[in-house]
Amino acid sequence: MNWLEGYRSRELCEALAMEICRLATRPMRFMEVCGGHTRAIRKFGIPSLLPETISLLSGPGCPVCVTGRAFIDQAISLSSQEDTEVCTFGDLIRVNGNHGSLEKARAEGKQIRIVLSSLDAVEHAKRNPEKKIVFLGIGFETTAPGTAAAILKASRDGIGNFSVLSAHKLMPPAMEGIISEGIPIDGYICPGHVSTITGTRMYQPIVENFKIGCVISGFEPLDLMHSILMLIRQVLNDKPKVEIQYARAVKPMGNPEAQRMMYEVFETADEWWRGLGFLKNSGLKPKHKYYEFDARKVFDIPTFKETDPKGCICGEILKGLKTPHQCKLFARTCTPVNPVGACMVSTEGACQTWFNYEGKN
Amino acid sequence: MKEKTDSILLSHGSGGSLMHELVRDVFIKHFDNAILGLENDAAVFKASNSNIAFTTDSFVVDPVFFPGGDIGKLAICGTINDLVAVGAKPYCLSAGFILEEGFPLKELERIVANMATIAKLAGVFIAAGDTKVVEKGKCDKIFINTSGIGVFPEANVPLFSKKTIKPGDQIIINGFLGDHGMAVIAARNELEHAISFQSDCAPLNLLLGELLKVDLGIKFMRDPTRGGLATTLCEICEGLDIGIKIFEDKVPVRASVQGLCDLLGFDPLYVANEGKMLIVAKKGSEQNLLSKLRKNPLGRNAAIIGEVISENKGLVTLQTSIGGTRIVNMLSGEQLPRIC
């Protein structure tokens, strides 16, 4: 099948929509916990093809959205230090901390550079030995192996002016945290990219302990429609299980080499999630062996308080309790150019995808 | 909706909503007059008995050289295309250079030679110029400003106006979208050897010059540069009592451009073009126009991509390739490479 056209086949999507309409005779709520899914669902207008009985909720799956304000403050503080340059993925630069965003700090002359990969940051450090390069490590199991690879490369090549400020997070604690709060969900549309690394095993406790089905989905419209249908069938048969829809990329065992690298460099730690607070063992920090690459050990970074901006309901949106249109700030004081809450920052955040694809009212 | 910031951000130059706020709230607020207030690609006014078109634009691009062009070619084509967008025949240009101390003379000469070649091809001449050199670090290698004057040789062809757009009118684009923006992104990230396309940068009087001499039912044109097709469509809708509906499966995008966009998290609808013209054509005239465009290499892949509708006033909607419907908004800030 041609990846670009085949997975966007109108005929097949319409056929799936008809089957979904036929089966979904009672209300069901499915949550996607991947920003890429959130964006694809709205970009392709999938909700307009589904019956009213199916609600799609956006969970804590956008790495930018769940990053706390104190982390941004720390990054800005680092960029203010002499001879120090902060390297970040682009999505993060517009997120407001308690004291402005990286974008505004850059406009004020602070050294902040957008990179496409963690290895770009290592190369940048290699080319600029007079500078201290700090890479902002954010994201889930998808990006953590990349950051681990960067630290391993810096270690191997003796690049002493590279370090990572890690806010990497692990997906299962957040998925379990949401269900533990009693938020009604009938199934998870599970993150495709994360699962290519982790495989299926990490979703098993969700099925066993909470009786909620998990379908690992691809990112094309046909993948998502198919995943929704698979979840509907699980609900109707009352047989929750872990299923792989995204079989062309995800293997049950995941990517053992990436997992090995990730746990060679990182160990779990309690981590702050915007909207969810501290979750036990939900984050990754460099192991003692790699402390020389841990920005928190290399630099004297001030501590900042985690706060939520007044009026912002990102927390409730991330838990699927409210939609962006129910936020009083949405499209008024909170816009993609001037985001108040983190869900408006990234193109994969729930609020920005609604702003871009669902209209402002 | 007001996008408030205290200082100039890179996003102010993205061609999206923040730039529109800046133009409206600072420049138009203080410079306002009847001609500027129309916010067309070029100003059209009477000098003696003839209509004259006048425009200016500044060019900054990183890297200076990219697949399919360079900053000089961009400067000439961009200003020509702004004149063509209002229906004028480009006549002459000015070229102002701001050069950073240390910029290689060889590279400057290469850029200027390319400007001369493309100007000659397009049938315009450089009538005035200026050069300033600033200390190293005070500008990024080379900035070019070009202004242009165009004339309207055919008095019997009506001037284009947004206000004449009505439900039923057809939306046409002259070819593949996103080639320029993604060629520059590829060059910026040293991926240029991995791509199979190049910038579409071209002087569009070579495509439209002859067509503009007769009334073919064109009501309005705009070149979708920064902010891309989506932002341009939103600009057209803004303040009018109409909506625009486009069909995703009719919008021409190369598979390779779509692939690079998908990889980096960009949307081709928002990626910059430098050789494209968006045409709003009177209903019934579109097939004739389309066949004429397709006869020219610069319009070979021209397509009707949508229509003006009476519903969803002031909004652009898109019917997705799978049959869903969604809103198309103006670009907010810059498009940023995503995390994963």
Distances (CA, A) of B250 to B46, B254, B334: 39, 12, 26
pLDDT at B308 over 80: yes
Spatial distance between the Cα atoms of A357 and B325, rounded to a whole number of angstroms: 9
User: A1 falls in which pLDDT band (50, 70, 90)?
Assistant: very low
Over chain A, what is the mean pLDDT? 93
**Residue B120 pLDDT:** 97
Q: In terms of pLDDT, which residue wins out, B154 or A138?
A: A138
Nearest CA distance, A169 vs chain B (angstrom): 13
For residue A44, give the chain B residue with the closest CA. Answer: B320
B74-101: pLDDT as tens digits: 999 999 999 999 999 999 999 999 999 9
Q: Do A10 and B265 touch (CB under 8 A)?
A: no
- A299, A81 contact by CB (below 8 A): yes
Q: Do B332 and A335 touch (CB under 8 A)?
A: yes
Looking at the partner chain, which of B5, B322, B339 has a beta carbon nearest the beta carbon of A8?
Answer: B322
B10 contacts on A by Cβ (under 8 Å) = 103, 106-107
A8-51: pLDDT as tens digits: 899 999 999 999 999 999 999 999 999 999 999 999 999 999 99
Q: In terms of pLDDT, which residue wins out, A335 or B145?
A: B145
Burial group, residue B313, by CB count within 10 angstroms (0-12, 13-18, 19+): exposed
The proportion of chain A whose per-residue pLDDT surpasses 70, expressed as a percent, equals 99
For the segment B292-314, the average pLDDT, to the nearest whole number, is 97
ipTM over 0.95: no
**Residue A275 pLDDT:** 84
pLDDT at A340 over 90: no
For residue A2, give the chain B residue with the closest CA. Answer: B255
Q: Do B333 and A331 touch (CB under 8 A)?
A: no
Backbone phi, psi, residue B133, to 5° = -115, 130
DSSP state letters, A225-281: HHHHHHHHHHHHHT---EEES-TTT--TT--HHHHHHHHHHEEEEEEEETTTEEEEE
pLDDT at B287 over 60: yes
For residue A116, give the chain B residue with the closest CA. Answer: B337
- A265, A151 contact by CB (below 8 A): yes
Give the β-pairing of B243-247 and A266-273: unpaired
**Residue B214 pLDDT:** 93
Spatial distance between the Cα atoms of B81 and B128, rounded to a whole number of angstroms: 19
Answer whether 0.90 is exceeded by the pTM.
Answer: no
Question: Is the CB of residue B29 less than 8 Å away from at least one CB of chain A?
Answer: no
pLDDT at B333 over 80: no
A214-257: pLDDT as tens digits: 999 999 999 999 999 999 999 999 999 999 999 999 999 999 99
> Chains A and B: how many Cβ contacts under 8 Å?
131
At B17, list the tokens: 């909503």
A346 contacts on B by Cβ (under 8 Å) = 338-339
Is the backbone peptide bond immediately before B63 cis, with ω within 30 degrees of 0?
A: yes
User: B1 falls in which pLDDT band (50, 70, 90)?
Assistant: very low
For the segment B44-65, the average pLDDT, to the nearest whole number, is 91
Spatial distance between the Cα atoms of A350 and B7, rounded to a whole number of angstroms: 27
The proportion of chain B whose per-residue pLDDT surpasses 70, expressed as a percent, equals 96
At A334, list the tokens: 């909170």
pLDDT at A3 over 70: no
A283-307: pLDDT as tens digits: 999 999 999 999 999 999 999 998 8
Please name which of B335, B262, B266, B339 lies closest in space to residue A63, comparing C-alpha atoms: B339
Q: In terms of pLDDT, which residue wins out, A67 or B15?
A: A67
Question: Is the CB of residue B249 less than 8 Å away from at least one CB of chain A?
Answer: yes
Nearest CA distance, B99 vs chain A (angstrom): 22
Amino acid letter for position A295: A
For the segment B179-199, the average pLDDT, to the nearest whole number, is 91
**Residue B24 pLDDT:** 84
Q: Do A104 and B259 touch (CB under 8 A)?
A: no
**Residue A2 pLDDT:** 56
**Residue B4 pLDDT:** 59
B339 contacts on A by Cβ (under 8 Å) = 63-64, 89, 91-92, 138-139, 143, 346
- B151, B230 contact by CB (below 8 A): no
Residues facing residue A172 across a β-bridge: none
A144 contacts on B by Cβ (under 8 Å) = none
Q: How are strands ordered across the β-sheet holding B243-247? A: B218-222, B278-281, B170-173, B303-309, B243-247, B316-319, B325-328
pLDDT at B338 over 80: no
- Across A347-351, B5-9, B289-293, least confident range: B5-9
Looking at the partner chain, which of B5, B315, B323 has a beta carbon nearest the beta carbon of A49?
Answer: B323
For residue B314, give the chain A residue with the closest CA. Answer: A359
Q: Do B340 and A142 touch (CB under 8 A)?
A: yes
Nearest CA distance, A223 vs chain B (angstrom): 12
Spatial distance between the Cα atoms of A271 and A283, rounded to a whole number of angstroms: 5
B197-251: pLDDT as tens digits: 999 999 999 999 999 999 999 999 999 999 999 999 999 999 899 999 999 999 9
Spatial distance between the Cα atoms of B115 and B131, rounded to a whole number of angstroms: 15
Looking at the partner chain, which of B17, B323, B332 has a beta carbon nearest the beta carbon of A13?
Answer: B323
B323 contacts on A by Cβ (under 8 Å) = 10, 13-14, 45, 49
Spatial distance between the Cα atoms of A323 and B293, rounded to a whole number of angstroms: 45
**Residue B339 pLDDT:** 61
Burial group, residue B47, by CB count within 10 angstroms (0-12, 13-18, 19+): exposed
**Residue A58 pLDDT:** 92
A303-324: pLDDT as tens digits: 999 887 889 998 899 999 999 9
B18 contacts on A by Cβ (under 8 Å) = 337
**Residue B41 pLDDT:** 85
**Residue B132 pLDDT:** 93
